[in-house]
Structure 1
Amino acid sequence: MFSERITGSLAAGSSIRAMFEQGNRLKKQYGEENVYDFALGNPDPEPPASVLEDLKRLVSEPGIHKYMPNAGFPDVRAKIAAYLKKETNVDFTENHIMMVTGAAAGLSVTMDSLLNPGDEVIVIAPFFGEYKGYVTNFGGKIVPVPALPGTFGLDVPAIERAITSKTKAMILNSPNNPSGAVYDEASLKALNAVLERAETAFGQPVYVVSDEPYVKIVYDGVRVPAMSAIFKNSIIVNSFSKSLALPGERIGYVAVNPQIRNADVLMDALIFCNRTLGFVNAPGLFQKVAADHLEDVAGLEAYRERRDALYEILMDTGYECVLPKGAFYLFPRSPIEDDVAFCDLALKHRLVIVSGSGFGYPGYFRLAYCVSRKTIQNSKDAFAALRREALGK
């Protein structure tokens, strides 16, 4: 009766959302303070006070609630273009920017604009599971390439082996969800050389779609290399959900590298797809707010403290984990091979965690540390007991 493609996807489900619902059930049973929920990457800090002040100021601005060009307010796009030009030294203008209702919409619109049926899109595992839907919705095929074990860095030779005549794009997510890895400049430049060879061999570019919602959430002096400066055939998809702690407001942008051949045609395609997929335009009020807070980030020091606290608990209780350089996730190794069974067992200890299999990387599990410090501090005994039971000790 209904779409077989969609009903099949419903059966597969989302491991993140499934655990989120499990967590809600546990909270009703035991009380919220007695459940240690690390499932959902839902920013814990409030937006910066200046953002809230701007909302009050802008809400009554004449014309802000009316239709605007589908790509967004011209002055907003000009501010974002100027910011990107300063950050990347690439000559962005407002004509390379489209405002979108969050990065998810931006990725969907980008895939709709790029893909023909049967085209392949490379993703680096572990990867955000929704990428599969963003690609297959438009007739594409997702091709996972595992990251390097131990560091979750780019395995450039493996990526080169995965490229075929059908490869249309690859999605890079740095800092990465779920590993927190930040891809270093040397490996990105090596990847660029691979993509240039592929373009020569197959007579068509491989577009790099850079998914950047965590680009400002980095620690210990780390700086995320500018993808637009490294890859000429690049498309930035960014959102303010994480940097400004505004996930419920759905605001972001797509930026097309001006070095792309026929970049103007791609922009026209993006605007057309944004309209025909039903997004129409990004929320006007939050376009204006975002454009005035491009340099800001909410809760960075709090995230760093929570990262360190949860990492210390994992080390003290015998887990293996790489200290992440960005985002707000830890991605430890499961003490047992079956990471799904391990995450199910965790519920017995009132720990809500997400299996690595849901991110295309079995044997690990994800912890979102954008939670209260109290939740982290009180979880230590539960993590210790979970590991002991999993190992039969």
Structure 2
Amino acid sequence: MDGQFKSNRVTTVAGATPFKLLYDYYRLSSYQERRHQPGVLDFTFGDPHDPPSDAYVEILRESLIPQHELWFAYNLGDAQAVQAATDSLRRYLGLPFEPKDVHLTTGGFAAISVALKVVGDPGDEVVYSLPPWFFYEGTILEAGLVPVKVSVNRETFDLDLDAIASAITPRTRIVIVNSPNNPTGRIYPVETLQRLAALLEEASERNGRRIFLISDEAYNRIVFDGARFRSPVEFYPWSFLAYSYGKTLLSPGERIGYLAPSPAMPEREGIRDAIEALQMCGGWLFPNSSMQHALPRLETLTFDIPLFQRKRDVMVEALRSIGYRVRVPEGTFYLFPKSPLEDDAAFIAALAREGVLVLPGRMFETPGFFRVSLTPTMQTIEQSIPRFAAAFARAAETTPAS
């Protein structure tokens, strides 16, 4: 686009580092052609690689059959859909959410965007940890807010609470936490969440201004080894929960999720009204009517945890046996191994020459790592192992001896 047609806001958002790297990779590189070439194994994004289930397709098909004249009318939140989402929140998290707390959105993306604007004023700071989801920085900038980044502990992938505390200033308005984390798969433990809550409470009192927490929980139902997920919302009442069905249903292109203020949040009645107003004025950020009609039945479908835990275990064991350093993720469907080359982009290129596509750590503002999606088929995973081994061996040949 010619620069004369760009607003300053567009230029700033488009230039956000992770967004720019992602856009260049997805649109300007040969990725779109390569991913469809025979023999190329694609481990980049969390896209489905198996056909959708017959049950999923049938639910969507039936949701398109009108049952009355307003079936496809404007819909701020179908009552049955909202009730189904509320019931699942209560069931999974054990928190007393009410239907009035649950605002259906066009995926978790919109939920985060709305939450930022509900409590953030232009110039306010938003703290989040690296490695992040691609779009935090761009979404924060689009809202007129200021991103403030801190790193997690690179060995354990735990939140660095001291770094978060040091990053908080009188302008801090929001902290974003993503658990289970994309890309590391880390689920933050109760003790960490309790300490984070105490830290935010103390900082709010010190600054004389409330700090809010946005809990990005797109993967909160994808947890392994029988673990119980504990939400940050449970420990800090001034929290928003953002959820997306695109992960558990393996259908990221079908946009539906929700934003829910904590049921313990004081004065949340006014926030409820503000959320709906922003959804309307932000471009009607409610799911399509057909997706809302489908939601009660979509809630009955379950993610195949045993299959993805098996994929995780096969891949982790294989990569470790080759020599890669990789932590076992506790949730999500990603691995975040250490690159055997300091230059992760160079190693990603080496893997691509072997016919394996993954994403570099620098795309997550964490150079020296790379992300592997586990959504490909088990057959693809097994076929990839000798290729990962070949790329590792070549990297070892080019790495100077210490």
Q: Distance in 2 between matches of 1:27 and 1:235?
A: 36
Structure-2-length-normalised TM-score: 0.90
Residue of 22, 29, 32 corresponding to 2:30 = 22
Contact 1:27–1:35 (CA under 8 A) maintained in structure 2: yes
Unaligned runs of 5+ in 2: none
Q: Distance in 1 between matches of 2:25 and 2:379?
A: 20
Contact 1:232–1:257 (CA under 8 A) maintained in structure 2: yes
User: What residue number does 2:139 align with?
Assistant: 134
Q: Secondary structure at the match of 2:109?
A: helix
Q: Secondary structure at the match of 2:233?
A: helix
Contact 1:207–1:233 (CA under 8 A) maintained in structure 2: yes
Give the length in aligned residue pairs: 389
Q: Distance in 2 between matches of 1:137 and 1:343?
A: 30
Deviations for 1:98-130, whole angstroms, at most 9, x for unmatched residues?
111111111112112221111111112111121
Structure 1, 4-13 or 280-289: larger mean CA deviation: 4-13
Contact 1:15–1:354 (CA under 8 A) maintained in structure 2: no
Matched, 1:203 2:211: no
Q: CA deviation at 1:198?
A: 1.1
Q: Which amino acid aligns with 2:30?
A: Q
User: What residue number does 2:68 align with?
Assistant: 62
Q: Which amino acid aligns with 2:72?
A: K
Q: Distance in 2 between matches of 1:178 and 1:233?
A: 26
Contact 2:12–2:141 (CA under 8 A) maintained in structure 1: no
Q: CA deviation at 1:47?
A: 4.5
Q: Percent identity?
A: 30
Shift in CA distance, 58/348, structure 1 to aligned 2, threshold 3 Å: closer
Q: CA deviation at 1:16?
A: 4.3
User: What residue number does 1:120 align with?
Assistant: 125
Q: CA deviation at 1:382?
A: 1.8
Residue of 235, 248, 252 corresponding to 2:253 = 248
Q: CA deviation at 1:50?
A: 3.5
Q: CA deviation at 1:236?
A: 0.7
Q: CA deviation at 1:389?
A: 2.2
Shift in CA distance, 14/36, structure 1 to aligned 2, threshold 3 Å: farther
Q: Which amino acid aligns with 1:6?
A: V
Contact 1:64–1:284 (CA under 8 A) maintained in structure 2: no
Q: Distance in 1 between matches of 2:218 and 2:302?
A: 11
Q: Which amino acid aligns with 1:257?
A: S
Q: Distance in 2 between matches of 1:367 and 1:53?
A: 31
Summarize the alignment of residues 148-227 of structure 1 with structure 2, pairs less than 5 Å apart.
148-227=153-232
Deviations for 1:177-211, whole angstroms, at most 9, x for unmatched residues?
11111111111111111111112111222211111
Q: Secondary structure at the match of 1:113?
A: helix
Contact 1:172–1:208 (CA under 8 A) maintained in structure 2: yes
User: What residue number does 1:266 align with?
Assistant: 271
Q: CA deviation at 1:10?
A: 4.1
Shift in CA distance, 82/380, structure 1 to aligned 2, threshold 3 Å: closer
Q: CA deviation at 1:270?
A: 1.3
User: What residue number does 1:297 align with?
Assistant: 302
Q: Cα RMSD (Å) of the superposition?
A: 2.1
Matched, 1:102 2:110: no
Q: CA deviation at 1:64?
A: 6.0
Contact 2:131–2:364 (CA under 8 A) maintained in structure 1: yes
User: What residue number does 2:78 align with?
Assistant: 73
Q: Distance in 2 between matches of 1:51 and 1:203?
A: 49
Shift in CA distance, 123/342, structure 1 to aligned 2, threshold 3 Å: same
Deviations for 1:238-297, whole angstroms, at most 9, x for unmatched residues?
011011122111011111113223212212121111111113521122123223343532
Deviations for 1:30-58, whole angstroms, at most 9, x for unmatched residues?
x33x1121111113344454433333333
Shift in CA distance, 185/43, structure 1 to aligned 2, threshold 3 Å: farther
Q: Which amino acid aligns with 1:138?
A: A
User: What residue number does 1:230 align with?
Assistant: 235
Contact 2:59–2:298 (CA under 8 A) maintained in structure 1: no
User: What residue number does 1:6 align with?
Assistant: 10
Contact 1:48–1:298 (CA under 8 A) maintained in structure 2: no
Matched, 1:343 2:348: yes
Q: Distance in 1 between matches of 2:56 and 2:372?
A: 28
Matched, 1:144 2:149: yes
Residue of 320, 324, 334 corresponding to 1:319 = 324
User: What residue number does 1:40 align with?
Assistant: 45
Q: Distance in 1 between matches of 2:284 and 2:138?
A: 17
User: What residue number does 1:308 align with?
Assistant: 313
Shift in CA distance, 48/168, structure 1 to aligned 2, threshold 3 Å: farther
User: What residue number does 2:383 align with?
Assistant: 378
Contact 1:16–1:354 (CA under 8 A) maintained in structure 2: no
Q: CA deviation at 1:312?
A: 2.0
Structure-1-length-normalised TM-score: 0.92
Q: Distance in 2 between matches of 1:14 and 1:340?
A: 15
Q: CA deviation at 1:92?
A: 1.9
Q: CA deviation at 1:306?
A: 1.5
Q: Which amino acid aligns with 2:220?
A: V
Q: Distance in 2 between matches of 1:9 and 1:84?
A: 33
Q: CA deviation at 1:14?
A: 4.4
Q: Distance in 1 between matches of 2:366 and 2:341?
A: 14
Deviations for 1:63-110, whole angstroms, at most 9, x for unmatched residues?
56332443x112322332233234434332221111111111111121
